[in-house]
Amino acid sequence: DIVYLNGVYVKKDEACLSPFDRGFLFAHAAYEVTAVFGGELIDFDAHMARLVRTLEGIDIPRDDLTVCLQDLHEELISRNGVIEGFVYLQVTAGAYGRRDFGGPETLMPGLFMFCETRNLIGEKAQYGVSAITVEDQRWKRRDYKTTQLLSQALAYRESERGGAFGAILHEDGMVTEAASANLWVVLDAETLVTRNLGRQILPGITRQSVLDHMGRIGMTVEERVIALDELKTAREVFTTSATGLVLPVVELDGKPVGTGKPGPVTRRVQGQYYRGIG
């Protein structure tokens, strides 16, 4: 496995970064995960536009990043022979030899990338997954894709301990999103709902792509806040993300969602999305 770190391609086990890196000390870092399907990057430009937005939001200069990120992605995919999977990219605020909250006026960001081969459309997409609901304890700028992921990591650990695959986050009786995906619920034959964008959730690239496809599915989508009670009585639930694409949630807190199998609306959305990337 070959990874990219600050200008060089090295073997995975040989990549080294200073423990003084601000990404390590303060989670001062932005990241992106872009799906690879049939050897091609999915929605690459949209992912990079979101990266730029995050960098601006967390005060990391992006001037140096005009190194052609697309070339780096493609080179990494080709060196590792990835046909289906994803590329991970992280821009960290850099290391300055000491633990200083503010750090130097001019940051010198670092860039780390790796990729992984994975079946994006595998058993989970076919049969669905189980999830638990967990209180959302993240910071208030969830619209930035930063590596500050402790509460999501803990939510995943809790779900896995209970034999589930993921977590759906809520606060004040309202659903925000899944721990690493956006959330969609089907309330009745006509109503598909996903949360409206704002600081409370990540503006998912897959979410946007599914919204763009909705016309062809012949359903309208309500973008609004979803109550936890609506989630718990939904006919169908699914998530969207670069690593899961369109993933049915068939069990919630140990109880079946709808029939306990991926429902017809989820199947239609999957079908349309897979055709779009295939």
Instruction: Choose between 231 and 242: whose C-beta lies nearer to ligand PDD.
Output: 242
Torsion of CA 47, 53, 56, 61, to 10 degrees: 30
Given a contact cutoff of 8 angstroms between Cβ atoms, the answer to whether 186 and 192 are in contact is: yes
Instruction: Choose between 42 and 257: whose C-beta lies nearer to ligand PDD.
Output: 42
Half-sphere exposure of 205 (CA within 13 A, CB side): 20
Instruction: Give me the least distance between CB of 117 and ligand PDD, in Å please.
Output: 15
Instruction: Give me the least distance between CB of 206 and ligand PDD, in Å please.
Output: 3
Q: Phi first, then psi: what are they for 5, rounded to 5°?
A: -140, 115
Q: Is 35 exposed, middle or buried (0-12, 13-18, 19+ CB in 10 A)?
A: buried
Instruction: Give me the least distance between CB of 246 and ligand PDD, in Å please.
Output: 10
Instruction: Choose between 80 and 206: whose C-beta lies nearer to ligand PDD.
Output: 206
Instruction: Choose between 130 and 180: whose C-beta lies nearer to ligand PDD.
Output: 180
Query: What's the Cα-to-Cα distance from 147 to each of 30, 90, 157, rounded to whole Å?
Result: 6, 8, 17
Instruction: Give me the least distance between CB of 204 and ligand PDD, in Å please.
Output: 3
Instruction: Give me the least distance between CB of 142 and ligand PDD, in Å please.
Output: 7
Instruction: Give me the least distance between CB of 108 and ligand PDD, in Å please.
Output: 25
Instruction: Choose between 54 and 182: whose C-beta lies nearer to ligand PDD.
Output: 182
Is position 145 annotated as part of the catalytic site? yes
| Long-range contact pairs involving 210-213 (C-beta distance under 8 Å, separation at least 24) | 210/184, 210/240, 210/246, 210/269, 210/273, 213/269, 213/272, 213/273, 213/276
Q: Which of 11, 12, 140, 145 is catalytic?
A: 145
From 15, 228, 242, select the one nearest 111 (Cα to Cα).
Answer: 15
Instruction: Choose between 2 and 46: whose C-beta lies nearer to ligand PDD.
Output: 46
Residue whose entry in the numeric block shows the structure tokens 């081969």: 117
Q: Whole-angstrom Cα distance, residue 36 to residue 174? A: 33
Q: Enter the tokens of residue 226.
A: 């979803």
DSSP state of 63: G
Amino acid code (one letter) for 85: G
Which residues contact ligand PDD by CB under 6 A? 33, 177, 180-182, 202, 204-207, 240-243
Q: How many residues does the chain have?
A: 278
**Catalytic residue numbers, as ranges:** 145
